[in-house]
């Protein structure tokens, strides 16, 4: 395939720094409900499920998923709602309590810094900040068009008392602010009990299997072809889907289709991932540390990312990742699609790996170079 060359201007457009995040406190119909009235909603890649026409979106390019964030002070709750597509919580700071079920009493689990939780579709869920005021939850939502959300019946009824209504087209109408309900508009009605009775149910044990807790992550020490090469050496923990691992023994925590995959990538100072590219869209989110990302084989352009910074890497663009800090660093890697991500390594990287005794087999996994068929040995 031809090389995709990324300009400095395009790299800048695709870099979303923490300082670029713009919150919306009127994003949802429960924005005036006591105990839920101090929420902040962010939309960095795609609009997510925001119901506010004024929601700021940093990058509207289709990725096959949406990335946003939820922030709220201690004790504030995001009320019960359900999603049509995958909803993944990535907690990078603080502690939250997740609850689920039509009335929120089916189960509850804590979410702590470093945890990733995939909440099943078609169940009501809500969460409360039980930690410090500056807790932070990134959200990864499946598909470009999420379809919006369905609110719990009690949430819609209480919102009416505060002058808020929702149309069937997912448009928020604020009569207190002067909005008028359009003639002939179809307003969203609370879900009837017959539909509620047919919703899925999850026990606490079942939900725990959808949590990748920070202290239970399983890491591959050699997930990539360049794992033993200078400049390589990153470790990988697959959370959702097999993603980009080239370790034939690595398995993800969560298997079911999401429309995207997600993994933690960890590296010591100076280590990372050597020059490669892939067909899928990719977003990098820094949890901690400083990371240098360089794009292009010729005319390289680079950006340094810090905690909570995001970078959308164009499809087919050559890239290297490097921990530029003084301590071990972690970043979240989100790729589009439910299948495996097949990396194409730069020829010099592949040759160095071959010299070190490694190649990629026909199944896309790292293998002893000497055992590969002659057709797969180029050097």
DSSP codes, 38-70: T-EEEEEES-TT---TT--EEE----SEEEEEE
Q: Is 36 a domain residue? A: yes
In the predicted structure, residue 205 carries a pLDDT above the cut 80: yes
What is the number of alpha carbons within 13 Å of residue 28 lying toward its C-beta? 27
Q: Is 10 a domain residue? A: no
**CATH, residue 348:** 2.60.120.10
pLDDT computed for residue 322 by the predictor: 98
Q: Is 13 a domain residue? A: no
pLDDT tens for 44-96 read 999 999 888 889 999 999 999 999 999 999 999 999 999 999 999 999 999 99
pLDDT tens for 307-365 read 999 999 999 999 999 999 999 999 999 999 999 999 999 999 999 999 999 999 999 99
Domain co-membership, 238 together with 360:
yes
Neighbours of 53 (CB within 10 A): 10
Instruction: Please give the model's pTM, rounded to 2 decimal places.
Output: 0.95
Domain co-membership, 278 together with 136:
no
Domain co-membership, 157 together with 174:
yes
pLDDT computed for residue 18 by the predictor: 97
Q: Is 14 a domain residue? A: no
Domain co-membership, 304 together with 223:
yes
Pair 79, 34: CB distance under 8 Å: no
Q: Is 73 a domain residue? A: yes
Last residue of a domain, one of 212, 241, 276: 212
Enclosing domain of residue 117: 21-212
Q: By CB neighbour count within 10 A (0-12 exposed, 13-18 middle, 19+ buried), where does 333 fall?
A: buried
In the predicted structure, residue 152 carries a pLDDT above the cut 80: yes
Last residue of a domain, one of 166, 188, 212: 212
Domain co-membership, 253 together with 174:
no
Q: Is 3 a domain residue? A: no
Last residue of a domain, one of 151, 180, 212: 212
In the predicted structure, residue 123 carries a pLDDT above the cut 80: yes
Write down the mean pLDDT value for the chain. 95
Domain co-membership, 255 together with 331:
yes
Domain co-membership, 256 together with 366:
yes
Closest CA to 305 of 321, 292, 294, 316: 292
End-to-end CA distance of the chain: 22
DSSP 204: H
pLDDT tens for 21-41 read 999 888 788 888 888 889 999
pLDDT (mean) for 246-259: 97
Domain co-membership, 272 together with 152:
no
Q: Is 171 a domain residue? A: yes
Domain co-membership, 224 together with 361:
yes
**CA 51 to CA 174: how far, in whole Å?**
11
Domain co-membership, 137 together with 208:
yes
Q: How many domains does the chain divide into?
A: 2
pLDDT computed for residue 171 by the predictor: 82
Domain co-membership, 50 together with 165:
yes
Which residue blocks in the chain are alpha helix, DSSP H?
Answer: 8-14, 153-160, 193-197, 204-208, 347-355
Neighbours of 138 (CB within 10 A): 22
Q: Is 7 a domain residue? A: no
**CA 65 to CA 144: how far, in whole Å?**
5
**CA 271 to CA 354: how far, in whole Å?**
20
């Amino acid at each position: 395939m031809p090389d995709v060359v990324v300009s400095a201007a395009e790299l800048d457009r695709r870099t979303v720094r923490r300082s670029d995040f713009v919150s919306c406190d009127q994003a949802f119909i429960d924005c005036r409900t006591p105990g839920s009235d101090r929420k902040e909603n962010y939309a960095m890649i795609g609009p997510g499920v925001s119901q506010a026409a004024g929601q700021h979106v940093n990058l509207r390019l289709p990725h096959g998923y949406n990335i946003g964030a939820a922030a709220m002070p201690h004790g504030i709750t995001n009320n019960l709602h359900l999603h049509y597509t995958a909803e993944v919580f990535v907690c990078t700071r603080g502690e939250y309590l997740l609850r689920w079920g039509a009335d929120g009493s089916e189960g509850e689990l804590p979410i702590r810094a470093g945890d990733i939780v995939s909440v099943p579709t078609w169940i009501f869920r809500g969460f409360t900040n039980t930690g410090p005021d500056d807790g932070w939850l990134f959200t990864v939502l499946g598909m470009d068009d999420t379809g919006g959300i369905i609110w719990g019946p009690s949430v819609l009824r209480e919102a009416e008392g505060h002058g808020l209504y929702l149309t069937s087209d997912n448009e928020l109408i604020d009569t207190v602010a002067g909005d008028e309900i359009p003639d002939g508009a179809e307003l969203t009605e609370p879900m009837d009990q017959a539909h509620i009775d047919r919703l899925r149910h999850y026990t606490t044990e079942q939900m725990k299997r959808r949590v990748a807790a920070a202290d239970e992550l399983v890491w591959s020490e050699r997930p990539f072809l360049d794992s033993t090469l200078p400049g390589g050496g990153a470790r990988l923990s697959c959370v959702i889907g097999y993603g980009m691992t080239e370790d034939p023994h690595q398995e993800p925590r969560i298997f079911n289709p999401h429309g995207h995959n997600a993994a933690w990538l960890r590296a010591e100072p100076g280590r990372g991932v050597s020059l490669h590219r892939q067909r899928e869209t990719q977003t990098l989110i820094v949890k901690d540390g400083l990371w240098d990302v360089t794009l292009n084989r010729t005319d390289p352009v680079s950006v340094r990312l810090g905690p909570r910074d995001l970078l959308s890497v164009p499809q087919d663009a050559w890239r290297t990742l490097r921990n530029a800090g003084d301590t071990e660093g972690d970043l979240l890697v989100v790729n589009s699609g439910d299948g495996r991500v097949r990396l194409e390594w730069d020829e010099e990287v592949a040759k160095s790996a071959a010299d070190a005794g490694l190649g990629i087999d026909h199944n896309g996994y790292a293998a002893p170079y000497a055992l590969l068929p002659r057709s797969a040995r180029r050097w």
